[in-house]
């Protein structure tokens, strides 16, 4: 039986005797591995781009409750108190929403003005793009969406932080389609901007509404649950009341399932290139066997066992597969980083924001390295078995 150091010395001789062919084979494996790395990395990147916008923690333990558009069922103070009485409900943060006229530095426009309490932001997972959200003790402060910047032809959120706004709320008159104009006293200081390009809206402390008029109903509410174990039970209770309920945790679970499918699909496409590389490696090992038939015969004649011959060839194929995996990881990660840099450079020049389109988790890269070694092992099984079964005398006479 060959010693380990002798096996490694013989297994790496191919780098000295046939360096060009050996490195081209490793490069072929590397290209196949790189295709898998870069495509799956793209899947991880797309998943990260979506989920990084979601704030975990309290937002994962809250239910978003909205009333149906028919107005037959109304979300009001009585219903909020009822929700608070449910088992395992820790808190309820309602949100009142009205159309409003906003005045900013001599400019007027229409927007949605929403009144809520400070807990709503953490329950809804809303974080400021610039500045901060509402806090306890705030009065006549407003947090606006990024879409509101476009209303006043502003580009940077910092350009509006600290500025003042005035509002007139249009309060619906019960039983009619008319509304009553209710001006909110004094000016409101803009303290934060939330990223939302779809809705021109602002958030103010709800006490600024209740000090002027009685809020007839709420548009939505965030119901905070004590534990994720009770999300489904409380959700079913609220749905039975006729309300529409959504949970961020379920959205995240669905998104993760979708992206796992995307990653698997991308991995299949990369796997096609990997199969081609494996065929190339199999061909190289078979050619190597034919070239070294006489050498195998000499080794058998001087006492080399079939197991030693088999281990020698398997070691060669595992080394080639592992080195091909490392080269593929380097090519894939380097290619992904380069493409990501180029795309971000173009995006920032066009006024967009930089994102991480490719992501390469360390566990995934370790799996690829191990998998490439296993692929080398599997590719070398047939040539090594064939080499071990060669008749020593026939092998010596082979030319």
Reduced to 3 states (helix: H, G, I; strand: E, B; else coil), residue 42 is helix
Cβ neighbours, 10 Å, residue 383:
24
Between 193 and 12, the higher pLDDT residue: 193
Mean pLDDT over 30-43 rounds to 86
Question: With bands split at pLDDT 50, 70 and 90, how would you rate the model's confidence at 164?
Answer: very high
pLDDT category at 243 given cuts 50, 70, 90 is very high
Token pair, residue 263, equals: 């990653």
Q: Is the pLDDT of residue 2 over 60?
A: no
Q: Average pLDDT of 347-366? A: 81
Two tokens, residue 225: 């649950």
pLDDT at position 9: 66
Q: Say what percent of the chain tops pLDDT 90.
A: 30
The confidence band for 81, taking pLDDT boundaries of 50, 70 and 90, is very high
Closest by alpha carbon to 29, among 286, 265, 330, 290? 330
pLDDT at 262: 77
The H or E element that residue 31 is part of is helix 19-51
User: pLDDT tens digits for 182-200?
Assistant: 998 789 999 999 988 889 9
The pLDDT, as a whole number, for residue 247 is 81
Taking the C-alpha atoms of residue 356 and residue 344, their distance in angstroms, rounded to an integer, is 8
pLDDT of 263 over the 80 cut: no
Structural contact between residues 166 and 217, judged by C-beta atoms closer than 8 angstroms: no
The DSSP result for 223-252, as a single string, is EEES-GGGHHHHHHHHHHTT-EEEEHHHHH
Helix (H) or strand (E) holding 367: helix 362-388
C-beta separation of 133 from 110 below 8 A: no
Q: Cα(78)–Cα(348) distance, rounded to whole angstroms? A: 49
- Show Cβ contacts of residue 234 under 8 Å, excluding neighbours closer than 6 positions: 63, 86, 87, 88, 89, 223, 225
H/E stretch holding 111 reads strand 107-116
Mean pLDDT to the nearest integer, 350-368? 82
pTM metric for this prediction: 0.60
Give ∠ CA 179-182-184 in degrees, rounded to 5. 150
At residue 11 the predicted structure's pLDDT band, cuts being 50, 70 and 90, is low
* C-beta pairs of 152-161 under 8 Å, 24+ apart in sequence: 152/104, 152/105, 152/107, 152/109, 155/351, 157/129, 157/130, 157/131, 157/193, 158/130, 160/190, 160/193, 161/130, 161/131, 161/190, 161/191, 161/192, 161/193
Q: Is 56's pLDDT higher than 70?
A: no
Q: What gap in Å lies between CA 321 and CA 274, rounded to an integer?
A: 11
What is the gyration radius of the CA atoms in the chain, in angstroms? 33
Greatest mean pLDDT among 50-59, 120-129, 347-356: 120-129
Segments making up each domain of the chain, as ranges: 4-54+254-397, 68-242
Q: Give the alpha-carbon dihedral of 225, 231, 233, 236, to 10 degrees.
A: 100
pLDDT of 218 reads 93
Taking the C-alpha atoms of residue 226 and residue 240, their distance in angstroms, rounded to an integer, is: 20
- For 255-267, what is the mean pLDDT? 76
Residue 100: the pLDDT is 94
First to last CA, the chain: 26
280-309: average pLDDT: 72
Residue 1 has pLDDT above 60, yes or no: no
Looking at residues 196-210, what average pLDDT do you find?
Answer: 92
- Give the distance from CA 290 to its chain's centroid: 49
What are the two backbone dihedrals, phi and then psi, of residue 379, each rounded to the nearest 5 degrees?
-65, -30
- 167 pLDDT higher than 70: yes
The answer to whether the beta carbons of residues 244 and 65 sit under 8 Å apart is yes
In the predicted structure, residue 6 carries a pLDDT above the cut 70: no
Q: In this predicted structure, what is the pLDDT of residue 94?
A: 94
Residue 174's pLDDT is what?
Answer: 73
Rounded distance between C-alpha atoms, residue 289 and residue 390, angstroms? 10
């Amino acid at each position: 039986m060959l010693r380990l150091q002798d096996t490694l010395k013989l297994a790496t001789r191919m780098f000295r005797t046939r360096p060009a062919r050996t490195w081209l084979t490793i490069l072929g494996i590397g290209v196949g591995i790189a295709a898998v790395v870069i495509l799956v990395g793209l899947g991880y990147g797309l998943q990260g781009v979506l989920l990084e916008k979601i704030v975990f923690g309290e937002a994962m333990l809250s239910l978003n409750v909205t009333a149906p558009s028919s107005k037959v069922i109304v979300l009001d103070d009585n219903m909020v108190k009822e929700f608070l009485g449910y088992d395992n409900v820790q808190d309820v943060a309602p949100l009142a929403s009205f159309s409003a006229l906003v005045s900013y530095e001599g400019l007027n426009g229409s927007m949605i003005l929403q009144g809520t309490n400070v807990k709503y932001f953490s329950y809804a997972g809303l974080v400021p793009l610039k500045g901060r959200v509402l806090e306890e003790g705030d009065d006549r402060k407003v947090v606006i969406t990024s879409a509101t910047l476009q209303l006043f032809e502003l580009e940077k959120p910092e350009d509006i932080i600290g500025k003042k706004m005035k509002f007139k709320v249009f309060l619906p008159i019960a039983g009619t389609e008319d509304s009553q104009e209710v001006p909110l006293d004094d000016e409101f200081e803009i303290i934060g901007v939330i990223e939302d390009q779809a809705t021109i809206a602002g958030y103010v402390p709800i006490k600024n509404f209740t000090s002027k008029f009685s809020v007839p109903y709420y548009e939505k509410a965030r119901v905070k649950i004590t534990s994720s174990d009770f999300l489904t039970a409380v959700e079913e209770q609220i749905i039975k009341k006729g309300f529409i309920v959504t949970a961020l945790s379920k959205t995240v679970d669905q998104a993760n399932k979708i992206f796992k499918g995307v990653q698997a699909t991308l991995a299949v496409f990369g796997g096609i290139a990997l199969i081609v590389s494996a065929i190339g490696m199999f061909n190289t090992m078979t050619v190597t066997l034919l070239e070294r038939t006489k050498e195998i015969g000499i080794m058998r004649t001087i006492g080399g066992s079939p197991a030693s011959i088999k281990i020698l060839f398997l070691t060669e194929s595992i080394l080639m597969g592992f080195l091909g995996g490392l080269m593929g990881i380097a090519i894939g990660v380097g290619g992904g980083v380069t493409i990501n840099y180029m795309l971000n450079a173009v995006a920032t020049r066009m006024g967009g924001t930089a994102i991480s389109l490719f992501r390469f988790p360390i566990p995934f890269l370790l799996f690829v390295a191990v998998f490439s070694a296993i692929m080398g092992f599997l590719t070398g099984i047939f040539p090594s078995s064939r080499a071990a079964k060669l008749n020593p005398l026939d092998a010596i006479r082979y030319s």
